[in-house]
Amino acid sequence: MDQPQTENENPRTIVPMYAICLQNASRIRTGLRYLQRACLLTSLTLIIAGCGSTDTPSVDSGASETAQQDTPVISPSTSPSVKQEAQSAQAAEPAITTTRTRRPTSTSTAAPPKVTAASESNTSPTTRTRSQVRPSPTPTPAPVKLGPEITAWLDQSARLINEVSGTSEALKTGPDVQVLVNTAILAFLDSHSLTDESVAALNEAISQLPPLVYAFPTTGQSVAAADVDGDGEPELIAGYNLFGVQPAWFDLGSGELKAQAFPTQNPEKDFYGMTVVHSITDLTNEGIADVMLVTTTPGTSTLTEAVRVFTWNDGPRRVFDLPVVSWADPARWELRTTGGKAEIDTVCAIFGHYDIKQLPHPELTRTFAWDGTWFVETKRTVSPPVSTHDQINRAEAAFWAGAYGPAVSLYVEVINSPILSEDQDLPIDWEGLARLRIAQISLLTGTNAGAELKHVVQRGGVIGLIGQTMLDATGTRDALQPFVALQRLNLKAPPPPGRFGHIQFPVDEALVLALGKALEVGLKDIAPAQLSRRTIFNVLENVGFDVRDAIVGDLNGDSTLEAVVSIVRNSERFIGPPVNDFWFLRRGENRWVVEPAPVFGDAAIANGIRQISPRHSAFVLIEPGAGSERSIHLSFDGNHLQSWFSQPTLADMEPSNPFDSRQITECRHQA
């Protein structure tokens, strides 16, 4: 016979009930035995049912969760509906705020923060100790719910981005999006503790925003948290990864929460891209986390990753700032941390005096390490030559630096062991150029150049023409006459027969002739204190060498004079003054050294010297244009010549941060 069943309070627990008949003792004893068994069975069933209810949610709970997920999100621009009346506190339209007063006690919707060893001992740590993940039999905490106010601000950000998507307005929308996402973070900090789970939820929510202008894959985060100022309270660092949105940091140790900016050389331009938080870790081995931000900025044919590191000293301090530019070849960088020591490697394609983007290039690797104040360059490594033009560029760097011994060795390598690659198809006589340079170095160092010039003549073509011109003028006792002859040579005339014709791009005619090197020969007996504009004119014009103009002055305050000299070159011009090239004259070790001045127009006019500070001055040149003029300032710090398209300032001359110097961005061959 079927036994009746009764439902327990738990819907999945069924307890059998036995009918007991009391007609005789035998049946009583039988019933008692049944009753004992029933009690035991009932107890076991209840225990099993209880365990099962913990592992599997009921149908009702699942439906409740689904209903909660389907609840419409409150938007800053949407008024609350009837269904949202139960959530009147959150349904009110939030107001945009740039600051919020920190609550005495922060309420979190996430799981309570993990207890670290420092908090267990009731000590105030100077650095944040990251909690260790331990195996636990307890279930994984439920996902963190950000809350309707935070979600509303992010939704408003997404709508604004979508409104300008695909239009030119998107390039200018970053500041407006900035206000919205900053307000979302302030709302988050007002209602959540900075646990790993809550920060991960915020990062995921911001990462879901649509791209603004560009979208690039990244290894960084939109937000991250760590104690970066050593006050025992974590700070929130936000990069956002949205074009034109500036990174910000939020100090939870202050009484008033607000979005604070990171210092840069040029705040409007330096973060013009998509910034992510690449890492928050101790890079300086000082026991406190440092912040590394990476800003990606695409261009027409370039991709720049600006890598910046900030330490904290009464706020963030920029201690590393270097753009890694992919243009001719892919550039890259790497953060390496071994044994508590962090190093940053940057790799870029090296360019030289004769170069084009399409040719193969070697790589320059620079290694930066912490010196107690900055990340400074500790090592520079150049990969082996990859082509003949690369060999020439290395030799040219030594030639223009006045390092003639190493330069000759490098030119000999071009002659004896050229590296053939794509540049072998260029109509350029690299070997002939190497032999011409060796002959010119002989003239500059006071040795006989006749034998080497004869080898140059045998090359034929335009290189042979240059060699013949110099050879014809070496019979005189005046060492300047070969340069005088080169100044009068018109390379546009048909060259003699040969494999190679005229000098062609990327080889620069002015650099090949090297007329400025005549200054080294003519002024070799002039002491630094005797250098003047008049002296330069007297020495060179007396031998027939045409100097157009010169500016003389002490640019770096070391009591040694420098000069920029414009020298006429015989070249065809349809209209305007004669073509002239600009050369920078400086004092090397016991002699004068000349290098090309970075002036891009050959019709520029010398315009004097301008004092920037008591120790710094700049040569000024004017480039006439179509109805306008552009001033060029040339400065010298004792090692490097720099060109400025506007008047430099003292901050340019003596930057408080070495990463404000433009020289550090160059990826060029150096002697």
Q: What tokens were used for 636?
A: 């010298």
Q: How far apart are CA 298 and CA 230, in angstroms?
A: 36
Per the rule left: phi > 0, alpha: psi between -120 and 50, beta: everything else, 548 is: alpha
Q: Is the pLDDT of residue 600 over 60?
A: yes
Q: Is the pLDDT of residue 62 over 70?
A: no
Region 373-394: what's the mean pLDDT? 94
Region 135-156: what's the mean pLDDT? 80
Region 226-252: what's the mean pLDDT? 94
- pLDDT grade for 619, boundaries at 50, 70 and 90: very high
Angle between helices 174-191 and 196-207 (to 10 degrees): 160
Q: Is the pLDDT of residue 92 over 70?
A: no
Q: How far apart are CA 578 and CA 86, in angstroms?
A: 84
Give whole-number Cα distances, 612 to 190, 620, 635, in Å: 49, 12, 10
- Which of these ranges, 378-392, 474-488, 508-522, has the smallest mean pLDDT? 474-488
- pLDDT grade for 50, boundaries at 50, 70 and 90: very low
Q: Quick count: other Cβ atoms within 10 Å of Cβ 566?
A: 22
- pLDDT grade for 502, boundaries at 50, 70 and 90: low
Q: Is the pLDDT of residue 506 over 80?
A: no
What's the pLDDT at 214? 87
What's the pLDDT at 627? 59
- pLDDT grade for 137, boundaries at 50, 70 and 90: low
Task: Output the CA torsion 296→298→302→308 (10° steps).
Answer: -20
* Omega cis (within 30) before 94: no
Q: How far apart are CA 93 and CA 74, in angstroms?
A: 8
What percent of the chain stands above pLDDT 90? 53
Q: Quick count: other Cβ atoms within 10 Å of Cβ 280?
A: 21
What's the pLDDT at 500? 66
What's the pLDDT at 575? 67
Higher pLDDT, 273 or 21: 273
Higher pLDDT, 658 or 133: 658
Residues in the chain: 671
- pLDDT grade for 236, boundaries at 50, 70 and 90: very high
**Interior angle at CA 369, CA 365 and CA 374, nearest 5:** 120
Give whole-number Cα distances, 569 to 11, 479, 573, in Å: 101, 19, 11
Pairing of strands 592-596, 580-587: antiparallel
pLDDT digits (tens, 9 = 90+) for 410-469: 999 999 999 988 777 777 889 999 999 999 999 999 888 889 999 999 998 889 999 999
CA 217, 223, 226, 230 torsion-angle sign: positive
- pLDDT grade for 8, boundaries at 50, 70 and 90: very low
- pLDDT grade for 93, boundaries at 50, 70 and 90: very low
Closest CA to 15 of 46, 54, 36, 51: 46
- Which of these ranges, 166-180, 245-259, 417-431, has the smallest mean pLDDT? 417-431
- pLDDT grade for 29, boundaries at 50, 70 and 90: very low
Region 624-649: what's the mean pLDDT? 84
pLDDT digits (tens, 9 = 90+) for 280-330: 999 999 999 999 999 999 888 889 999 999 999 889 999 999 999 998 788
Cβ 292 vs Cβ 263: under 8 Å: no
DSSP conformation class of 11: T
Which residues are CB-neighbours of 51 under 8 A, at least 6 positions away?
A: none
Cβ 174 vs Cβ 212: under 8 Å: yes
DSSP conformation class of 266: S
Q: How far apart are CA 445 and CA 427, in angstroms?
A: 30
What's the pLDDT at 101? 56
Region 76-86: what's the mean pLDDT? 34
Separation of first and last alpha carbons in the chain:
105
CA 618, 619, 625, 629 torsion-angle sign: positive
Residue 342: HSE in the Cβ half-sphere, 13 Å Cα cutoff:
23
| 572-597 exposure pattern, b = at least 16 Cβ within 10 A, e = fewer | eeeeeeebbbbbbbbeeeeebbbbbb
Burial class, 266, CB count within 10 angstroms (exposed 0-12 / middle 13-18 / buried 19+): exposed
Q: Is the pLDDT of residue 63 over 70?
A: no
- pLDDT grade for 501, boundaries at 50, 70 and 90: low
What's the pLDDT at 360? 87
Region 608-635: what's the mean pLDDT? 86
The secondary structure of 35-99 as a DSSP string is HHHHHHHHHHHHHHHHHHHHHS--HHHHHHHHHHHTSPPP-TTS---GGGGGGHHHHSPPPP-SE
Q: How far apart are CA 238 and CA 361, in angstroms?
A: 37
Mean pLDDT of the chain: 79
Pairing of strands 256-258, 5-7: unpaired
What's the pLDDT at 608? 93
What's the pLDDT at 329? 83
Q: What tokens were used for 305?
A: 């990753």
Closest CA to 532 of 556, 558, 565: 565
pLDDT digits (tens, 9 = 90+) for 335-367: 998 777 899 999 999 999 988 888 889 999 999
Residue 119's SS3 state is helix
DSSP conformation class of 128: P
What's the pLDDT at 75? 32
Q: Is the pLDDT of residue 38 over 90?
A: no
3-state percent helix, strand, coil for the chain, nearest multiple of 5: 35, 25, 45
What's the pLDDT at 336? 93
- pLDDT grade for 144, boundaries at 50, 70 and 90: confident
- Which of these ranges, 436-445, 543-552, 624-633, 660-669, has the smallest mean pLDDT? 624-633
Angle between helices 404-416 and 430-444 (to 10 degrees): 150
What are phi and psi for residue 609, nearest 5 degrees? -125, 145
Q: Is the pLDDT of residue 5 over 70?
A: no
Q: What tokens were used for 487?
A: 């100044």
- Which of these ranges, 2-6, 210-214, 589-593, has the smallest mean pLDDT? 2-6
